[in-house]
Structure 1
Amino acid sequence: MNIPHPNTFETILLALMLLVWLWQFFFLFRRILPVARHKNTSISDTDLPPVSVVISAKNEEENLETFLPDVLNQDYPDFQVVVVNDGSEDDTDMVLTRLKAEHPHLYITRIAPDKKFYHGKKLPLSIGIKAAKHEILVLTDADCQPASDQWLKHMVSAMRSQHKELVLGIGNYKKTKGLTNLWLRYDTFTIAIQYLGFALRGKPYMATGRNMAYTKQLFQKTGGFKNHIYVASGDDDLFVQEAANKTNTTVCVAPQAHTISTPPSSFKKWREQKMRHLSTSPHYKKSIKFSLFAEPVTRELFWALTLYFIFFPNFALLILPFSLLLFLFKLIIWKKASDKTGMGKVFWGLLLFDIVQPIIIAFSHFGNLTGSKKRKWK
């Protein structure tokens, strides 16, 4: 291989490419590979402690009608479902009352409508947790459907078998046709394997409120949501930031333990939702913010430098094999993580979205900086 002697500019680019390559490889190996290698906990059919499922619902009559029966009909020996009707103005109360007659283990509590006082999601969740009669809490949303009737068994077994206080689960989107749906599921997948991988390496930093579990004692010990009550979102990730550590947290990635949600109807609605979720990121720990910032930046640099060396090919024979090796390594890990979590062939989205994902997320962050600072929970 005849490689010319690099000039100063090319030396800088080659050194930068080496740093980018090393960081990306490190991130894949340390933060994502643990998910692909994780062994799912076997569920237990005996000695299962009682559980309280907590759901906050605001104008959710259709979703409660459709999805709540699957929560109420879990194959679990002793559990209650606490639904907080948060000032709904539709027929939520009627739906809940009817379901209560059919399912005695459904407990309903209500917050009166108050148009002068906006309180977000944390208040109804706090009320629901206080009303829960059992120590183990499993949280989900009104628009979520358990992937199976073994959902509770998997979540609780993960907690009990490893003697943990907090379990991070997966909230997936329903698969439909179209590129937008593939993007939504791919983005959800990449976020999930990232926060799960961090947790498996002893650095838990977020969860999804659509599927997580913790003990009431942990909630009380942490002070609930009081330290970030002023932030509209964060009942999941900001709570994890305060309550989780490398010894009290585990994950549950079994496909039967997912919750499934109806995806946003358009890319615009997804972006609005994404901006609301990203509004909590400034409150993350500095080390986490650095890692989450460095990964997409080095990823974009990786692609930019790879394309540069393709169009200016003096060092293409040196760079391209390493670029191909890194991308194939990432694709293999994505596939194994997809298989482990039961999220299907969504890993192929890597071929379409790996370059554009950081750009789209950056525009969502920018929207938070330039738009309204008050992202309301709906």
Structure 2
Amino acid sequence: MNSIILLDFLLVFSLNLLFFNWYIAFLFSCSMILSFFAFRLYDPENLQSYNEQLVRAAVGVLFSFVPIFFFYPLFGNTISHYNFLGNFLIASLLIPPFNFLFSKLFTRSVSSKNVLVLGKKEEVEHILEEIEKKTFGKYRFADYLNPSLETLKAHVKEYDLVLITDPDFEDIAKNSGAKNIEYLPNLVERTLKRIPVEVIEKFEEYYKVVFDSVRDDSPAKRILDVFISIVALVVFSPIMLIVAIMIYLEDGRPIIFRQERVGKNEETFTMIKFRSMKKTRTNQPKFADQEKDRILKVGKIIRPFRLDEVLQFVHVLRGEMSVVGPRPEQVDFVKMFKRNIPFYYLRHKVKPGITGWAQLMYKYSSNLEEAKQKLSYDLWYIKNRNILLDLRIVLQTIEAVLWRRGAR
């Protein structure tokens, strides 16, 4: 992916030099590549689809013009409408076929690794099949063994990689003479960008150490939270006023909906959002797709674009939430999930967020199994979180909103 991003930048920058001075060409190129990244042009599955490349490149280049307009007064007459048209044509006509062909050639040139799996097939096969599909066959899980040391020594040279899916086989693998050994947690996290509960159960001692060492938010993250929240509240203030008026005209007061949610360290707080449903009370917690009949007309507009949640930037300023983190759940749902989903409590190691890795990578959950799947993405974020990952999630939330990813 990194090589394609670099090549795209060089292509866009070189062509822009035909129109601009180098610094304006650089500005256009950076803005365009960042926008492509935000719209997930470089995700492996999107690189394999020409239609996805075409649509995402066209939408991405249009959004890349937004920051250019902020700098427009600084350049006077240097930038004309022909320059915008030229960049749109570059992005729409050149980038999609270039990325698609390069990705296809790169995928074909990568040789498949023949993998010997140490562990029980029935316990890990579904995870390994997902890895094989996600990596487009880069890993081929040829055989499964529950071996003795002698058996492994006799077969180890036939494979490119030995995969340990159970800690009980670690000593055997190390003493077998295998040159390349991989652990299931490392492979899963690197390829799937999530941590399935089944993997934690197998490597519980390792993950206990990992999650016990989770630290509080860094000063950089707090600065980013405050900055984004202030900007968002200012930018969205006219929209919030319009939404408030629309709710009042359709269904009266209250305009703001309040509900107890579970935050960091399982402490509860009263979360606010624009009310998007009728005032009918329910006796038990329900998933959002079970209450479609209660959604207001204005709710059908604001919910898909998550405008009902913009008030939560207030919680970020208060320190109750972060811009990026696992979504805060209802108290009753948390009790139910903790009873039925192992390690669910780990998601409360950090502040809840307005957006998150799980929201980008998975649909809105409407049952226990989907909540379990979504948890795996939250846990990956908690383990791997840093300021750059947060910036990536913030950028790609734009795509998630426009593509209705996780909309309910």
TM, length-normalised to structure 1 = 0.26
Q: Which has the higher helix share?
A: 2
- Select the structure of larger CA radius of gyration: 2
Question: Relative contact order: is structure 1 or structure 2 higher (C-alpha 8 Å, sep ≥ 6)?
Answer: 1
